[in-house]
Amino acid sequence: MTLPLRQLSPFCWEIPRRGGMRVPGRVYVTEAQLAALSADRALEQVAAVAHLPGIVGASLAMPDIHWGYGFPIGGVAAVDAEGGAVSPGGVGYDINCGCRVITTQLPVDEVRRNTHAIVSRLFATIPTGMGAGSAIPKLSRRELRELMAQGADWAVARGYRAGADDATHCEEGGRLQGAEPEWVSDRALARGADQVGTLGSGNHFLELQHVAEIYDPEAAAAFGLRTGEITLMIHSGSRGLGHQVCDETLHELSRVYERFGADYAALPDRQLACAPIGSELGTRYLGAMQAAANFAWANRQVMTGLAVRAVAEAMGLAEPELGARVLYDVCHNIAKFEEHQVDGQPRRVLVHRKGATRAFGPGDPRVPEAYRAVGQPVLIPGDMGRYSFVLAGNASAMTETFGSSCHGAGRLLSRTAALKHARGRDIERELASRGIEVLARGPRTLGEEMSEAYKDVEDVVDVIAGAGISRKVAKLVPLGVIKG
């Protein structure tokens, strides 16, 4: 299906309202990126999301947009907090899949000669891949429920930390207050019991990086980023527990959502199945989803403690000598109640971000005090062979995108196509020749996740910067990667 598109700016295109769309679609891409989108059905999904009951403003898509389930990856939708609908498909299976950057004061030259030892120690310490478990002892149901109530603080209290202010430097302080751990099923608990502190698989990774370039010295100074110093980046989520919460809700919703009214029955895609926010099912999902989000923060926090320990051991240093601290931690897959300006008026909305990052601008009280003058850190992982970026949120994000930005490079090739490109190549050796040591569960992972499978993340962040939503602060280049 070809959708009509209207260019609003060099970086933004509108899908005008038609049929049952309640709002227009708005896609942040260049003309060249738009042409590439015709290969899948992501634009149709932007239009489909515009049918959600209670949606306000526009159905948005960030420049890393690609085909998802119901929502496109890179999709953002805000619905009225009272009369709107919550859609598990607008959050995704991996609830609070997210990204964290840990800064250190280690100089790259000292670390480079120890890269092999560090990457090996990280790989041995943090379980990766299929059903990876047992980074820490398996948790009981009571312990899991405590963890889901406390989020990142649960792990900090148990000694898994980089600095003293780790949780403060997470979106929402590493804990959503609306979590209802009792509403997380026994099956979800069973899947998550031995997965705290584990990376998972697919595009999840832990990278040893260095700061290669600074674009905004003031913001970089506020964020503690200095050229030539080492950072760690973690990309992971709520593991099997979050998947089970989403799966069970979608299963239940798919059988009943049409009964919520004509607006719901008319949704163009079953994977958009949603429930009124105030309904029993909507309330139950929101409580369980927020508990799973807290699980993800605890997971990344435990990995932070394990990674700092692993790097210190590999370098023969005491942990404090690393000067490690959490720069920030952002959610990629989440729905959160926030206040935004809609049609010039403040309004409480539920913002679905599926493969998108919160990007609040300078002065916002929801940004940690240390960063408030420059805007929220926005962490954008790239692929394992090139680079990642740290951005800062701009004020215009608050008026344009409900304070949202892109979340990564976005896939360019399917896994099958990537494997075809990788055939006959030694990806591990290719990366090594560029000074990047990678350890993964198997060669298939390396083929599926090779650089060419992703868009160049710099092209993606340049759109976000060009549109004024966030600005570039620093470029991080990998030295070593562990993957599932």
Partner 1 sequence: MRLRHPVPYEELDHTADAGVLVRGDSKEETLGRLVLAYADLVTGGAPLASGADQVIEVEAGDLAGMAVDVLRELLFHFETERWVPESCEVALLDPERGARVVVGTGAYDPVAHTDGLVLKAVTLHAARFEPEGGGWVAAVVFDT
Binding site for partner 1 (CB under 8 A): 39-40, 42, 66-70, 73, 93-94, 129-131, 187, 190-191, 200-202, 240, 243-244, 246-247, 250-251, 254-255, 270-271, 411, 413-417, 441-444, 484
* Annotation says 421 is catalytic: no
- For 183, the 3-state DSSP assignment is helix
Residues 67/42, Cβ–Cβ less than 8 Å: yes
What is the nearest approach in angstroms of partner 1 to the Cβ of residue 200? 8
C-alpha–C-alpha distance, residues 332 and 353, integer Å: 7
Per the listing, tokens 């509108």 go with: 14
- Nearest residue to 464 (alpha-carbon basis) of 2, 31, 12: 12
**284 membership: H or E segment, kind and range:** helix 280-315
What's the CA gap between 146 and 150, in Å, rounded?
6
Which residue(s) pair with 333 in the sheet? 354
Residue 70 or 305 with smaller CB distance to partner 1: 70
Query: Smaller CB distance to partner 1: residue 16 or 131?
Result: 131
Q: For partner 1, which is the closer residue by CB, 149 or 419?
A: 419
For 363, phi then psi, to 5°, come to 85, -10
CB of 237 to partner 1, least distance (A): 10
DSSP three-state, residue 386: coil
Which CB sits closer to partner 1, 53 or 74? 74
Answer yes or no: are the C-beta atoms of 44 and 69 closer than 8 Å. Answer: no
In the complex, least distance from residue 66 CB atom to partner 1, rounded to whole angstroms:
5
Q: How far is the CB of 412 from partner 1 (least distance, A)?
A: 8
Nearer Cβ to partner 1, position 363 or 442? 442
| DSSP per-residue codes, 436-461 | -EEE-S-HHHHHHTSGGGB--HHHHH
Task: Identify the burial level of 60 via C-beta atoms within 10 angstroms of its C-beta, where 0-12 means exposed, 13-18 middle and 19 or more buried.
Answer: buried
Q: How far is the CB of 396 from partner 1 (least distance, A)?
A: 29
> With respect to partner 1, which residue has the nearer C-beta, 54 or 72?
72
Task: State the nearest-atom distance from the C-beta of 287 to partner 1, in Å.
Answer: 20
Neighbours of 229 (CB within 10 A): 18
Name which of 279 and 414 has its Cβ closer to partner 1: 414
| Cα 288 from chain centre | 19
Collapsing DSSP to helix, strand or coil, 103 comes out as strand
DSSP, res 279: S
Counting Cα atoms < 13 Å in the Cβ hemisphere of 96 gives: 32
CB of 415 to partner 1, least distance (A): 6
Here the tokens at position 465 are: 């910067």
Report CA dihedral (132, 137, 143, 147) to the nearest 10 degrees. Answer: -60
CA distance linking residue 94 with residue 105, whole number of Å = 32
The whole-angstrom separation of Cα 18 and Cα 22 is 8
Q: How far is the CB of 95 from partner 1 (least distance, A)?
A: 11
- Residue 92 or 224 having the CB closest to partner 1: 92
Q: State the catalytic residue, choosing from 210, 243, 340, 407.
A: 407
By annotation, the residues acting in catalysis are: 407
